[in-house]
Structures are given as structure tokens and as C-alpha cells.
Chains A and B, each alone.
Chain A
Amino acid sequence: MNGIHDMGGMQDMGPIQREKNEPVFHEVWEGRMFAINRAIGAWGKWSLDASRHGIELLPPADYLRMSYYERWLTRNVELLVKSGLVTREEIETGKPAPGSQKATPPLTAAAVPAMAGRRGNFMRPEAEAKARFEVGQHVRARNINPVGHTRLPRYARGKKGTIVRHHGIFVFPDTNAHFLGEQPQHLYSVSFTARELWGDEASSRDSVYIDMWDSYLDHA
């Protein structure tokens, strides 16, 4: 989706604002939201890709106005309702629906340290997938504009690059985000010169390395 989240190359976002001795969470609720996100993710009702797409579905004005964890809050309410874990009415009333059964949380406090090591391995080395490219080959990123989720940033579409590293076979976000399966593909690091991406005024030495799935690429 050509959304506001895909902001690589924009120039009108203002100066970078840094903060000295920044806390991990600025408000207590941000920490709670971070933790809730992990704990509800443990239900396995949606993937990380679907979750990212949930943020991308925010209207652009909201996306830019909201703080980071406010986006998570909005997205998580939508995911909870869509997955059926919670009803819209329960969100509005703040109370479980009368007569609803109490579940058992899949994530306990005791499991938190171990869960950190276990969760979310995205590599699928055993999957049947053909590698169409090898390190050193010249490629061109496809000019695709899907209305759904993709991790091919706009600024690289149609641009020529070189395969610099083969990462292995990984879950394909473009399908996984839409509950269409993992459909694993080979993943590569592709280098693009700054001039290829941004024109002749860019530095002749600099480059951007972008991780790209096999189907994002054509031979060049």
C-alpha cells in the first residue's frame, strides 16, 4: 500500500528531535501498551506482518498525529475485535459480555523470560523455494503497487541494484499479513547506489542496502 508509513525519501518532516537520558517508556501506559501487545500476540491469532499492516491502515493524518504507542493501542483494539477475542461492545463498555467464559492467558509471568527467546522465528530453511538470484548479480526491483501489505519501499521500485548477501528463506510478509499463508521466499540484501536512487546530485560513494524477497526482483 502506498501509505504514509512508507516515508523513505520524504524531506518535509522537520528536524530530528533527540532527548537526553530518554526513558524506555515516557508514560506508564506506554509500557502497559507494549506489554499488552506482546501478551495478546501470544494468542497466535495474527502474525507480526498482520500487526504491522494494522498500523499501515491508520488514516495518514492520524498516523502522523498519534504517538507511537497510541498507534499500537488503536491497532490492537482493531486486531482484538477482528480476531474475535473481544467484541466492540466489550471495548465500549469496558466489561466482559454477560455470560462470557473466562479464558486462560497463554502467556504467564513465569514464561516471559523464555518467551523472549522463542517467539517469532521468521526463517523457513526447510521450505521449498527456489533462489532465482545469487550474490553479485545485478537486479531490478519490480515496480509493484499492491494495495495490501508490502515491504518493498516505494523509493526502491524500478531501481537497479546488486545482490550483496543471501539471508536464507523467510516468511513472505505480503501474503502473511493478509492471512494468506507464509509462502516463504529467499531473502537477499540488495545494494543500491545513492545516485541510482536519488539522481546525480547524490554522493557517488554512498549506497542503501535493502532486504528484498525473491519476488520483488527481476534480473537486470
Chain B
Amino acid sequence: MAVPNSKHAQEHDHDHDHDHDHQVVPSDPALRTKALESLLVEKGLVDRAALDELVDAYENKIGPRNGARVVARAWVDSAYRERLLNNAPAAIAELGYGGAQGEHMVVVENSPKVHNLVVCTLCSCYPWPILGLPPVWYKSAPYRSRAVIDPRGVLREFGLALPEDVEVRVSDSTAEVRYLVLPERPAGTEKMTEEELAALVTRDAMIGVAKIAPPPGGEA
């Protein structure tokens, strides 16, 4: 993340323009990673082109838009929704998604009475094929530690205050089962197409730290 021991890093913290046109002093892990990659390539242990392909896949192809399509389909197609809730890996595969860290998916459904929230207290388990790689906050100590003991407080930090009569269910991903929250379809979206609906679905809502806002101009 930030580059330690570098004034540049402190000034540019969280400025993630990858097209830097000026010199950045590489952080220690950057240098060590580069040295390790060279060694592994020289020894024939890894193929540099395979590394490029992996980075490209997770930067450009695999991400939360996949999950958004799953959610939108479930909203418009009740038979699909049933399949998704009963056999998530098969239903997700219908849309062409699957793979590492998403082999054993379970979809949990939000309703006016139940709100689901997903965490991995022990490490950083997350459904990669449909949400991509997790954001830093999801992997961070503050979220991992408090999501189970104070989920309502965590949700308030995300700007979501739930009424007392809503049941909060936290899923702690301690095994190889990966959880996706099926958020509630917002009001005022009855006439929207599946594609328009997918555009409303956010990563945070599929983790369960947010609801999906009604579309601008829609009836709330």
C-alpha cells in the first residue's frame, strides 16, 4: 500500500494513479517481490506471462459486476432466485461464473425483517469469482474484529442504521463456503430492465454493509 520511508508516499497516500510519470522510491516489499519474481522465473518455477494473465484477470475481468448480474437476474426471475438460494454454485455457473474461492457458494437473502452481513474473522475469505478481490477494509482488523460483536455499530459506520426489529445475521466464513448477500430490490425499480438493475447493485450491498438505494428519480 503506502510506501514507507518515503516523503512522496506520505504526500500521495491513497493517490493510486498507476501512470506515474515521476520516480517513486520502491518500498521494501516492492523490491523483495521483484527479486523473488526474477528468481522464480529464472528457476523455471513460474511463467512470467502467466503472472501477467493472472493480474489482468483480477484487475479487469473478475469483479463485483459479475455478482451484480447474478443479483439482477434473481430480482427479475423468481425461478432463478429459487435456484440461486437452493444451489448457488449451479445458478451462478448458469451466468458463466465460477472458480477459485467460489466453488462452494451460499447465497443469503435480505428481507425487510432480516439483514445479512458477511465477514471472515480469521483471514480474508471472499467470493472472488463474483465479487473479485476484497477491498482493504474487508481484510482489515477493525472490520474483522467488530463485525461479529457489534454488527449494528459496523453498519452505522457504513451509514446504515437498522431498526431494532430487524434481525442481523452475520456469516463468519470460517470454512471454504463463500457467502453472497442477495440484497433487497429497491422500490421504484419495477420498470427497469435486468441490465439497468444490475447497474444499481453495489459490492457493499453484496457483502451486506449497505442497502441498495432506489434509483435517482424513482419512487422511494
Contacts and interface: CB of A to CB of B under 8 A. Distances in A.
A212 interface: yes
A130 interface: no
Interface of B: 1-3, 14, 16, 18, 26-27, 29-30, 32-40, 42-47, 49-55, 57-59, 62-63, 98-101, 103-104, 106, 119, 121-124, 129, 132-133, 135-137, 139-152, 154, 157-158, 164-177
A90 B63 CA distance: 36
21 contacts: A11-B145, A16-B158, A18-B135, A29-B29, A29-B34, A31-B55, A35-B54, A39-B50, A39-B54, A67-B1, A69-B29, A96-B43, A111-B50, A117-B98, A120-B101, A120-B103, A151-B122, A171-B176, A203-B152, A205-B164, A207-B168
A94 B38 contact: yes
Contact of B18 (A23, A70, A123): A23
A151 B54 CA distance: 28
A191 B1 CA distance: 36
A95 B36 CA distance: 9
A91 interface: yes
Given A105-B44, A198-B149, A170 B170 contact: no
Given A11-B149, A16-B142, A40 B174 contact: no
Given A105-B45, A122-B176, A153-B172, A19 B135 contact: yes
Contacts of B122: 5-6, 8, 52, 151, 153
Given A9-B149, A31-B59, A32-B37, A206 B170 contact: yes
A108 B46 CA distance: 8
Contact of B165 (A73, A117, A170, A205): A205
Interface residues on A, range: 35 or more
Interface string A1-39: 000011111110111111100111111111111111011
A86 B45 contact: yes
Nearest to A104: B44
A109 interface: yes
A175 to B, nearest CB: 14
A68 to B, nearest CB: 5
Given A15-B157, A153-B122, A43 B45 contact: yes
A46 interface: no
Closest 10 CB pairs of A and B: A8-B121, A116-B99, A211-B175, A35-B54, A109-B49, A103-B44, A10-B145, A35-B51, A29-B30, A122-B176
A91 B33 contact: no
